[in-house]
Amino acid sequence: MTSYHSHLTVLEQSAALYPSAFAFRVPISDPLTGRVHDWLPISYQQFKEDVEVTARHWCGVFRAQGIPHGSVIGLWLSGIDYQDVLHIYGISRAGYVPQLFSIRLPNPDVVHELLREANARALIFASEFAASTASFSVPVYPAVHKRDMGVNSATLPPLASSAEGNDVVFIFHTSGSTSGRPKLVPCNRRWLHSVVDKARITTAPQDPQRWDVTVTIGSMCHIGQNFMLIGSLQHGTCTVQATKQGFSSEELLDMIQRCGLNRLNQFSTFLSIHLRNSRQNPKLLQALRHLDQVLYSGLPLDRDDEDWAYTNGLKMKNLFGSTECGAMLLSIGGTSRDARFLRPLPGTSYKFVPIDRDPDSEDTHQSSIQLLELVILAESGDCPDTSLRTDDGHFHTGDLFQETTPGAYVFRGRNDDWIKSESSLRCDTKAIEDNVRSTCGDLIGECIVVGTGRPSPALFVEPAAGVDHERLQREILRKTRAFHSRRYLHERITRKELVIIVPPKSLPRTSTKGNVRRKAVEELYKARLDDIYSSLN
């Protein structure tokens, strides 16, 4: 047997090394205004003890139900609160396997199906899902607060010092739906050990003489925040829990001033808001300049925003990753001309495989550059579960790159029809288009789905001759309602404003095959889309 590091061994070691250091700063908000009036500090020792209290609680509950250690336990939570972290780590510490559901997947039928597919033995749910889970075939339990758990003397299992590398320790889900629901992403001990190593490198302090303070990048029910927390814990870093994923520039300044935040982690869409605000707010720009690092992920940063950041001396880092692998590539950083280029994280085993050029591609660069698909080799510790690999035994990401200098790359999009939302969650555009064509084929001439970096997708439709536009919007929503009800919130089209009717044959097309060009539609109608999404906020 081999010894593997995990989030639990990291917490154990860090609580011993940094017992009194702050692991978290948790917002205390005014219930009327929602404004944060204090950031409650929680030490590493307190975090470890809180995890163990939570673990003992669930140990007692599940032992009473005869649920053996090693069983899968579902958690349907926001993943934003400190209490959610305790439930996730506590279930692991109690000897069970957390299966993590995002509240962005609100369909109980899909959650129930995924629980059964994973052979889960129970579900812990956030209060808003009480009615939705009442008829589930597995035992369901409310996510009680630690203060309401009482004293429990249940004995915790020992931390596994050695184990089988293929033992599953987490189950995530793909961030987009395939065939009507997400796919399971089982994560084993070997994979988690690799994540611990990669996270340590990614979050290493820029100044070893100071304690870093960073901020949550998203929900603990997704891999991004799990990855960043595992890294932060290894360095005794304090993680400030923002009130929401897209927190305001005012809240960012408050975290810098009152919590000492010196490292900003955000998905590109949300970071762009701060960068644009800094153009009119010298105080915000000065604060961003003084950060040790501004790390962004999920989507390429808008080129104007990226240029503004580098021109104004912000210390930028681009982290490229996925649910299946965690972080994979990190930009070089600094101020040289190659600062933006991406390189694989040390200790990984990747290959960049040339793909055939598509003469009908809407990417004008494809005709002059060689595109490479990122492939995670089977021998790489972070290669996902065999159920997600192709027949050659490797994991083909579908992500395309151009090699700029030996070993350095720039992202050039994807080799499929998936786009990413503002939260870096994926959406299968072709599945939506196919559903519209199959249910509304007599009403439409052509359609295309766009929405890169948006909260949800939008559907552009060229109508069939003589169809009333308002009636067409209503009919499309009615006929596709069942399809969208099973999907994540960020994949759904449920508002008529997001069904955009344009004249027949008006959408831009490729020159040879006549396919509608997704990127060109997004660029051509950018101002209109900006107005629509702004009106829906």
Structure tokens at 246: 């897209």
- In eight-state DSSP terms, residue 516 is B
Q: Which residues contact 377 (CB under 8 A, 6 or more apart)?
A: 349, 350, 351, 383, 394
- In eight-state DSSP terms, residue 416 is S
> Given a cut of 70, is residue 213 above it in pLDDT?
yes
Residue 369: predicted pLDDT: 82
Q: Average pLDDT of 82-90?
A: 98
Residue 178: predicted pLDDT: 84
Residue 335: predicted pLDDT: 81
The whole-chain average pLDDT of the chain stands at: 93
Q: Which residues pair with residue 479 across a beta bridge?
A: none
Q: Rounded distance, CA 426 to CA 174, Å?
A: 8
Structure confidence by residue, pLDDT tens digits, 349-393? 999 999 986 655 665 445 568 899 999 999 999 999 999 999 999
Instruction: Tell the CATH topology of 7-261.
Output: Rossmann fold (3.40.50)
Q: Average pLDDT of 43-53?
A: 97
> Given a cut of 50, is residue 23 above it in pLDDT?
yes
Residue 365: predicted pLDDT: 46
- Give the closest residue to 75 by CA, choosing from 103, 52, 101: 101
CATH number of 421-535: 3.30.300.30
Amino acid at 282: P
CB atoms within 10 A of CB 447: 22
Helix (H, G, I), strand (E, B) or coil at 46: helix
Residue 363: predicted pLDDT: 57
Residue 358: predicted pLDDT: 61
Beta strand 395-405 with 372-376 is: antiparallel
Higher pLDDT, 335 or 470: 470
Least confident of 124-133, 431-440, 492-501, 506-515: 506-515
Q: Rounded distance, CA 77 to CA 71, Å?
A: 19
Q: Where are the domains of the chain?
A: 7-261, 421-535
pLDDT band at 135 (very low <50, low <70, confident <90, very high): very high
Q: Rounded distance, CA 127 to CA 82, Å?
A: 16
> Given a cut of 90, is residue 160 above it in pLDDT?
no
Structure confidence by residue, pLDDT tens digits, 294-304? 999 999 998 89
The strands making up 499-501's β-sheet, listed across from edge to edge, are 444-450, 458-463, 499-501
- Residues 62-86 as b or e (16 or more Cβ within 10 Å = b): beeeebeeeebbbbbbbbbbbbbbb
> Given a cut of 80, is residue 214 above it in pLDDT?
yes
Please report where in the chains the tokens 């590091």 appear, as a residue: 5
Rounded CA Rg of the chain: 24
Q: Rounded distance, CA 450 to CA 152, Å?
A: 52
Amino acid at 195: V
Please give the angle made by the CA atoms of 316, 317 and 322, to the nearest 5 degrees.
145
Residue 513: predicted pLDDT: 81
Helix (H, G, I), strand (E, B) or coil at 160: coil
Q: Which residues contact 199 (CB under 8 A, 6 or more apart)?
A: 227, 228, 230, 231, 234, 326, 327
CA 375 to chain centre: 20
Q: Average pLDDT of 283-299?
A: 96
* pTM for this model (two decimals): 0.93
Helix axes 189-202, 223-234, angle to 10 degrees: 60
Q: Which residues contact 446 (CB under 8 A, 6 or more apart)?
A: 461, 462, 507, 516
Q: Rounded distance, CA 79 to CA 94, Å?
A: 19
Residue 35: predicted pLDDT: 87
Helix (H, G, I), strand (E, B) or coil at 336: coil
Structure confidence by residue, pLDDT tens digits, 467-521? 889 999 999 999 999 999 999 999 999 999 999 999 999 999 988 788 999 999 9
